[in-house]
Amino acid sequence: MMQALIEPVVVDCDPGVDDALALAMILATPKLDLVGVTTVFGNLGIDQVTANAAGLLALAGRGNIPVAKGAVSSLTGKFSGGVPHVHGKDGLGDQSLLSGVQSSPLGKHHAAVQLVSMAKESRSNGGLTLVALGPLTNLALALQIDPEFDTYVKRVVLMGGNAFCMGNATPAAEANMLGDPEAADIVFGARWPVTMVGLDVTHKVLLSSEQLSRIAAQPGFSGSVTSRTVPFYQSFLKRMNGIDGIYCHDPSAVAFLLAPELFQTRALPVRVETKGISRGKIWPSLGDTDDESPEPWQDRPAIEICTDVQGPKVSSLIERALLES
Ligand code: RIB
Ligand code: CA
């Protein structure tokens, strides 16, 4: 019998409530082998998101998975201070989910160094899938450390960006891309296959309060994470967007790994705005051939932009994955 293909995955993240749910989905999915976690500033500062990543893995009984601490700020030295009003001061809903949890020691190398070595190691078993759930600084730094890094990686699936819709951090930009537009432009111009799971689709993937209650009632890791971290995030979204439930930003990137057929995509070169009031905006080219695109888009690889999604089906997939762990 053909052995089901086990896909080595590294998550680069800024936990963050939805990052935590995305990690829970991966840990609950046998065909995904989480070989490492790297952290990046974003929702909170690097020390907090790193403690959260290590603590979540320990809580899940997976303290053996290495965690490498990454960038404290963007390539240009910027960090907004994070969004504690969205994810809580501790980044995980301010319900002391991790109090008393003993985390494993962090890896001694910077996340960017660790990404290069994990990608090299994974070449012999099909190549690494990089799931990026925060600003793309670590990936850009890894490309600076080793210009061949993009050739070691099988694919990048990232939550971030907004191609044909408004932003969420500003009217122009989505939070992860705004965190480091220069890094994002480098990542979208490299040679690896990239799938952008952006607001164009994640704003159509919601977990309702009813679904969240079912997950939260579960014993186990996903139940604890959901019951303790989601209420804070949910009340923010209720106040800001009037929704009943939560947008599944980061979980949607994992859902793409599991069921890409539920997503509609378009292959286009993109640039990332780095100046002015639209800083962080993703600009797809007009078409997929050079003569259709003005100079800044020429000679750029096409990336796979998720342009639409079967939202309810992805929401059910996320719920099932979280109910299983
Ligand atoms: O815009 C949503 C993204 O920004 C998510 O990854 C969330 O965790 C924050 O990092
Ligand atoms: Ca995130």
Residue 174 CA, closest ligand 1 atom number:
1
3 state SS of 182: helix
DSSP state, 295? G
| CATH code given to domain 7-200+247-308 | 3.90.245.10
Query: Residues near ligand 1 with C-beta < 6 Å?
Result: 14, 16, 18-19, 42-43, 133-134, 159, 168, 174-176, 249-250
- Ligand 1 centroid distance, CA of 239 (Å): 18
**Residue 57 and residue 154: Cα distance in Å, rounded?**
24
Task: Please state the rounded mean pLDDT for residues 65-80.
Answer: 98
Asked if residue 1 has pLDDT above 60, the reply is no
- Ligand 2 centroid distance, CA of 17 (Å): 8
Percent of the chain's residues with pLDDT above 90: 94
**Residue 52 and residue 55: Cα distance in Å, rounded?**
5
Asked if residue 2 has pLDDT above 60, the reply is no
> Can you give the pLDDT at residue 125?
82
Residue of 325, 193, 199, 318 whose CA lies nearest to 259: 318
- Please report the DSSP string for 255-295 in residue order: HHHH-GGGEEEEEE-EEE--SGGGTT-EEE-SSSSGGGS-G
Pairing type for strands 128-132 and 7-13 reads parallel
Q: What stretch of H or E contains 114?
A: helix 111-121
- Ligand 2 centroid distance, CA of 218 (Å): 24
Phi-psi region of 151 (alpha: psi -120 to 50; beta: other; left: phi over 0): alpha
Which ligand gives the minimal distance to the CA of 42? 1
Asked if residue 164 has pLDDT above 90, the reply is yes
* 120 burial level (CB within 10 Å; 0-12, 13-18, 19+): middle
Per the CB < 8 A criterion, the answer to whether 204 and 166 are in contact is no
Residue of 133, 134, 131, 153 whose CA lies nearest to 142: 153
Residue 134 CA, closest ligand 1 atom number:
10
DSSP state, 187? H
Per the CB < 8 A criterion, the answer to whether 266 and 259 are in contact is no
Residue 138: count other Cβ atoms within 10 Å of its Cβ: 30
Token pair recorded at residue 129: 């899938």
Q: Name residue, tokens 């122009």.
A: 172
Per the CB < 8 A criterion, the answer to whether 39 and 111 are in contact is yes
Q: For residue 7, what are the β-bridge partners?
A: 32
Residues labelled as active-site residues: 14, 249
Asked if residue 68 has pLDDT above 80, the reply is yes
Residue of 268, 275, 256 whose CA lies nearest to 318: 256
Report CA dihedral (134, 140, 145, 147) to the nearest 10 degrees: 130
**Residue 189 and residue 267: Cα distance in Å, rounded?**
13
DSSP state, 262? G
Task: Please state the rounded mean pLDDT for residues 227-248.
Answer: 97
Q: What stretch of H or E contains 157?
A: strand 153-159
Q: What mean pLDDT value characterizes the chain?
A: 96
Residue 87 CA, closest ligand 1 atom number:
8
Which of 40, 165, 176, 204 maximizes ligand 1 atoms within 8 Å of its Cβ, making it the mutation to test the pocket? 176
Which ligand gives the minimal distance to the CA of 233? 1
> Can you give the pLDDT at residue 242?
95
Q: What stretch of H or E contains 283?
A: strand 282-284
Asked if residue 45 has pLDDT above 80, the reply is yes
- Ligand 2 centroid distance, CA of 82 (Å): 11
pTM exceeds 0.95 for this model: yes
Asked if residue 4 has pLDDT above 90, the reply is no
State the maximum Cα–Cα separation within the chain, in Å, rounded to a whole number.
59
